Structures are given as structure tokens and as C-alpha cells.
Amino acid sequence: MAAIILQVVQLGPDELLSLWNSVELDLIQVLCSSFLIIIISTVYFMMKPRTIYLVEYALYKPPVTCRVPFSTFMEHSRLNNMNDPKSVEFQMRILERSGLGEETCLPPANHYIPPVPTMEASRAEAELVIFSSVDALLKKTGIKPKDIDILIVNCSMFSPTPSMSAMVVNKYKMRSNIRSFNLSGMGCSAGLISIDLARDLLQVHPNSHALVISTETITPSYYSGKQRSMLLPNCLFRMGGAAILLSNRRRDRYRAKYNLVHVVRTHKGADDKAFKCVYEEEDPEGIRGVSLSKDLMAIAGDALKSNITTIGPLVLPASEQLLFLFTLIGRKVFNPKWKPYIPDFKQAFEHFCIHAGGRAVIDELQKNLQLSAEHVEASRMTLHRFGNTSSSSLWYELSYIEAKGRMRKGDRVWQIAFGSGFKCNSAVWKCNRTIKTPVEGSPWLDCVHRYPVHIPEIVKL
């Protein structure tokens, strides 16, 4: 086209007139060609997936009255387990190596001695976390509850009747034709499952807003027994919640923070070991709790390999894919003992949000993905400041990156989460605009200047 235009520009007025007169235009052919082009363009734009925008999100920041410093946690542990000093000692060792800081928070019911995991207390925690997050989101975006078309709430351990999604509809007096969903029992990766569900719904419902709420209600999950595998969640899980506004409206692209690029889900539930590695059950004394298996890290590593095998071809540059392919062929054909090639995901992403499930989870992923300390900084600092907030931890990590002023237009973010079942889920986002600091309403606003902090291998209590 450039060559033709250049040639035409060089022609004189007489030559142009002669050229125009020599062209024979058949009206029928022109109309048919134009009609065909219009039809093909229409079909293409109708079948093209809608762009999903993350307009804004808001996080719950617990009040200082809910803080649980190490000394408080251990004192309560001793008073609650006076007849079992071994359980107290075990929890102390876990806390020393957990990577948690002194400012993590537990709900009011867990501050009682003994804790009171009643239905009323659980509802009170859920309402406090969810309503605070949604209120902050509505204030940030200026959107009205009546404008929300899709509502998805995920919370694993607390599943009341009426559902938590109904609780939100009732509180904000949402429309009667709202499409609401309530996900429970899906573990720490339920947040990305909710995003995937919202994406699918937004693909078939044009001009819509979706509100996704990710949280975990800690009150009913407190374990008061002696089984060590069930005492672990007491030491790691803390209060937290996130409210995320997604949209497929074209006019929202100018104010949206991110575009959703990919969601990849991996489920290893067909394997019995994987299915039972995070399992809610009663101990021999009939006390209910969540048991974490010793094989958890090995199973998580296997699920991660399956997940990155799927997501790799979608995000990695061609050079990395070819290196991986050649190594795979070499191991199959020449020498099975060749070390497998681990793709360099740092070429595909600028930021990594690894679920802050625990120190061991972050260490394992840092080693497997060959990431630097800076790449996992958001995960470690989130674990230190807020603890394991389950499905909402990824959003605290994203907020940390924003609060540090590191998010630029065009940056790509990889969120990775693990959940019971066993699942490994990933989401890829692309930043739509440079995020300026200070970020209004960020839970990091009053403390980000203190981070990153050094986290010792063992904090002696």
C-alpha cells in the first residue's frame, strides 16, 4: 500500500485523470465486495471475546483492637491449652518460623478465653469484613449498588443460610434480577475461581458490572484440640477480605486499573493424596478442625508444574518455549538424566503475587520459578503484615506493589494461588495505567514506608 501511494503521488494531474478514466467500476461488484467485508467484520467483532476490566478493588484493614502480637497469641494459647503444654510448645515453634509479624489480626470472638466460635460471632465477623470492603469500593468508584449486575462471594469455612451473597444483596438493597453466586469450601484459591466465573458471565452478559468479594471467616475455624496437623491453621490464618469491581463496558477502559488476560485452573482432586491434603474433619476426641498434610508442599509443587505447563505457551516468548521444547526432546530421545529446563517467567511478567499461605509456600515457589527476593517481596511482606488471609491475600500483595509505586502502564502481573481439593490457579493481568502513590484507601498507606523489613529465619519467643 505504501509503494502504491508513493507511485500515485509522483503522477501528474493529467496522468491521474487518465488513470481514473481507465478504471472500470462495476457497481454490482463494488456493492457485493463491500457487503462481504461488512459481514466478515461484523462476525469477527461479535465472536471476539469481550475485554474484562478490573475497574478498582478495596481491601479490609482490621482495627488495632484486633491485633494479636506474639506475646498475646502465646498467652492465650497457654490459657486455652493448660492441660496440654506440648500443643503450646508446638504452636510456639510454628509461630517462630511462620514469617508473621506482630500486627496480624484475629476476629473479636477469638480474643475470648476460650474463643466463642458461635454462629452469631461468625456472622458479625463476615459482616464487618465484607461490608467494610464493599463500602470502600463503592466510595472509590462512585458506583451505586443498583448498577451491579453480577455478585460473587467466596468464603470457604463459613457457609450460613441465607448465603453470604444474599446477606450482601439485603444490606445494599440490590436489584431483584441480580445474578448472585456463593462459593464455599474451595480454599485459598477461591478468589481466582471467582474471577474466572465473573469473566465467563461477563462474556455472555454485555454492558455489565460484576462485584467479586473474597474473604475467609476465621471465627468458626478455631481448633481447640491436640492434633498438630490441625493446630497449624490457628497459627497462620488471620482476618482479611477484598472487594473487586470488574466490568466489560467499553467506557470503563479509561478508568480501569487492569485488563484480565488469562485465567488458568488446575485441579488435582482425582488423586486421593491431593484430595485429602487439606481436609476438614473431627479428631479422635470429636473436635472439628482443618488438617494440613505433611505432603502438602510436594502436592502443591506437582499442581504448580501442571499449571505452568498450561500457562507457559500463553505467556512465554518464543525463545523460552523453544528452549523448553528442545530440552524435553533431549530428555526423551538422548538422556533422561538431563536436568529439565525451567522457563524464565521473569521475561513474561514484571510482578508476581504468590499466595501468602506460609513461609514454606513462598520459599518453594521462589526456588521452583527461580525468582529474586524482590519478586517475592510483596508475598513475604503481606504474610508478615496481615498473615494468611486466604483467598484475599493476592489482593493485599497487589496493593503492596501499587503502594510502593512500582506499577507502570503495560506491566504484567501473575497471581498464583493454591487451594484445597487440591487446586492451583493462575490469573494474568495487564496494567492499564500507571498507578500513582499514595493509593487512596490502601491498607498499606500508614505502614508501607517501613517495608520491606528483614524477616529472620526464627523469631525466638
**Per-residue pLDDT reduced to its tens digit, 176-230:** 999 999 999 999 999 999 999 999 999 999 999 999 999 999 999 899 888 999 9
The pLDDT assigned to 327 comes to: 79
- Single-letter residue type at 265: R
The pLDDT assigned to 112 comes to: 93
Q: Which residue has the higher pLDDT, 1 or 152?
A: 152
Confidence of residue 16 (pLDDT cuts 50, 70, 90): confident
Catalytic residue among 76, 209, 355, 375: 355
Instruction: Report d(CA 205, CA 423) in Å as an integer.
Output: 28
| pLDDT tens string 320-331 | 888 877 877 877
Q: For this structure, is 188 an active site residue?
A: yes
* φ/ψ of residue 398, rounded to 5: -65, -40
Q: For this structure, is 384 an active site residue?
A: yes
Instruction: Report d(CA 454, CA 357) in Å as an integer.
Output: 19
Confidence of residue 385 (pLDDT cuts 50, 70, 90): very high
> From residue 47, how far is each of 50, 201, 260 by CA, in Å?
9, 15, 18
Instruction: Report d(CA 390, CA 412) in Å as an integer.
Output: 23
* φ/ψ of residue 262, rounded to 5: -145, 150
Sequence-distant (≥ 6) Cβ neighbours of residue 72 within 8 angstroms: none
Q: Which residue has the higher pLDDT, 415 or 221?
A: 415
The pLDDT assigned to 210 comes to: 97
The pLDDT assigned to 30 comes to: 67
Confidence of residue 23 (pLDDT cuts 50, 70, 90): low
Percent of the chain whose predicted confidence (pLDDT) is above 90: 70
Catalytic residue among 384, 424, 431, 432: 384
Sequence-distant (≥ 6) Cβ neighbours of residue 304 within 8 angstroms: 365, 368, 416, 418, 424
Q: Which residue has the higher pLDDT, 110 or 37?
A: 110
Catalytic residue among 80, 259, 267, 447: 267
The b-or-e profile of 430-460 (16+ CB within 10 A means b, else e) is ebbeebeeebebbbbeeebeebeeeeeeeee
CB-CB contact of 417 with 196 (8 Å):
no
* φ/ψ of residue 418, rounded to 5: -115, 150
Instruction: Report d(CA 423, CA 278) in Å as an integer.
Output: 11
Does the structure show a pLDDT above 60 at 24? Answer: no
Of 163, 76, 160, 73, residue with least CA distance to 122: 160
| pLDDT tens string 332-361 | 777 777 776 778 899 999 999 999 999 999
Does the structure show a pLDDT above 60 at 25? Answer: no
Percent of the chain whose predicted confidence (pLDDT) is above 70: 96
| pLDDT tens string 79-137 | 988 888 899 999 999 999 999 999 999 999 999 998 999 999 999 999 999 999 999 99
Q: Give domain 52-441's CATH number out of 3.40.47.10, 3.40.50.1950, 3.30.1280.10, 3.30.1540.20.
A: 3.40.47.10
Sequence-distant (≥ 6) Cβ neighbours of residue 113 within 8 angstroms: 76, 79, 80
Sequence-distant (≥ 6) Cβ neighbours of residue 190 within 8 angstroms: 154, 155, 156, 183, 214, 390, 391, 419
Using alpha carbons only, give the angle 428, 431, 436 rounded to the nearest 5 degrees: 140
- Among 50-64, 203-217, 433-447, where is mean pLDDT lowest? 433-447
Catalytic residue among 388, 425, 431, 432: 388
Confidence of residue 22 (pLDDT cuts 50, 70, 90): low
Using alpha carbons only, give the angle 182, 392, 362 rounded to the nearest 5 degrees: 130
Catalytic residue among 81, 105, 155, 351: 351
Does the structure show a pLDDT above 70 at 417? Answer: yes
Q: For this structure, is 351 an active site residue?
A: yes
Q: For this structure, is 182 an active site residue?
A: no
Catalytic residue among 105, 188, 277, 431: 188
Q: What's the mean pLDDT when you consider all of the chain? A: 90
CB atoms under 10 Å from CB of 26, counted, come to 9
The pLDDT assigned to 18 comes to: 74
- For the chain, the domains span 52-441
